Amino acid sequence: MKRLKFCRSFLLMASLFLMIVLSSCTSTGSLGLLTNSETEADLGPHDSHRFHRVGTEITGTACRHFILGIIPWGDSDVETALRHALQAHPSLNADGLVHVTTETSLYGFLPLYDVYTLTCTTVKGIPIRFDHSPVTQKQESSPVKN
């Protein structure tokens, strides 16, 4: 009986210790189309363009670190994660991703004192390649009446 009581109190204390020392949260989202800024500048924001899939689902992650809450390094934005995903598969020569899911996670180690914090963004999607010639709409000619 004493041993069971000791095990329960030990597990309770260990759980409380881990909750104080480690903390984390994650948020998720989804996007229809995600392209890097160089592709958007090349294509023009209001032009219609066709694209085709060039592979199966790929993933990219970007992380930012903080020490003591004041010394940051790294970049955890969505565009950096997209760039890492596309650079990891250079043979695809992809311009962006479709059916994209994003996940942003924040991990704190000794969060009370803000000793070390890590935030990471992950993107997953199907790589696409744009046809870089604009789609032209066929205009029907109608006879002009005078």
Q: For residue range 85-118, what is the model confidence (pLDDT) as tens digits?
A: 999 999 998 989 999 999 999 888 876 677 888 9
Is the pLDDT confidence value at 15 over 80?
A: no
Rounded to 5 degrees, φ, ψ at 93 are 50, 45
| Beta-bridge partners for 124 | 59, 101
Burial class (CB in 10 A: 0-12, 13-18, 19+), 96: buried
| The pLDDT of residue 47 | 63
In the predicted model, what is the mean pLDDT of residues 17-27?
Answer: 72
pTM equals: 0.72
Please give the CATH topology (third level) of the domain spanning 22-130: Translation Initiation Factor IF3 (3.30.110)
- Helix, strand and coil content of the chain, in percent to the nearest 5, comes to 25, 40, 30
* Cα 45 to Cα 80, 96, 135, distances in angstroms: 20, 14, 13
